Structure 1
Amino acid sequence: MPNALATALSTAALTAGMLLGAPAAGAQTAAYPTSSFDVTYGNTYTRGTITWYNRQVVVSGEHKSVSATSCRGTTAFGVDSKNHDVAVNFSDHGVCGASASFSFPVTFYVAGVGVVRICLDNGAENPPVKYLKCARYGRP
């Protein structure tokens, strides 16, 4: 009998510990809002998702180039309420004659950024970067 009592007490303690450590119903962390983007220029594109945080977004997706001599990259700008670019970042490097995945943050050092401008660019690693087509996406 002592073993049965010990087993019952251990099971009760383990169950209580699991219940106390579990988050309350509905208390899980809320998902961050996302926006889909698609900037197509001829047969090339950049498309993916913008994940919105407090003072940062993460831009993730794929860009495509169909020619080995015409490269493509992705640039993202944070735009404030006065329509000023307040932050910029870009994919590590462009792609030429292929497609590639990317993911990069754009950090805002000011509050109130509710728009991100995504541009398909010429994939240049050094200036001049040429923006082929851009589109604006608002925070959902």
Structure 2
Amino acid sequence: MTGLEVHQDEGLRETYAGEWQGLTNTEIRARYPEEYEAWAQGHPVRRGGGELAAEVADRAVPVVLAAVEKLPEDGTLVVVSHGGTIRTMIGRLLGLEPVLWERFGGLSNCCWSVLGQGVRGWRLLEHNAGTLPQPVIGDET
């Protein structure tokens, strides 16, 4: 045990995927082929009527930045969330356009990314660290 206090924030929740929630990749492809194809091509899509990646970043990044403001000098913040939410936060903090965020790939279970702040802003120091990358969607082909 670390003895550290844990704070929960709704802004760090998983991406809401509307009608896609709870479906396997195969089921999504069968029921929503055009929407899936647009999403797979990198177009901003409200998967199943859910959230856009930029909207996830809009709600998650302010939570992280507010927590960073409260850190002591040389403090460390640990953020635990869903891999997709973490990917959007990383992309936004690095100042990348949303269309590029998928290039980070999935974040495997129990893995982490490390960002640091420098004079030029945020930098990605490590990504998907902790184990060999595992498939994020088990039935993806």
After TM superposition, the score normalised by the length of structure 2 is 0.26
After TM superposition, the score normalised by the length of structure 1 is 0.26
Larger Rg: 1 or 2? 1
| Greater strand fraction, Structure 1 or Structure 2 | 1
| Greater helix fraction, Structure 1 or Structure 2 | 2
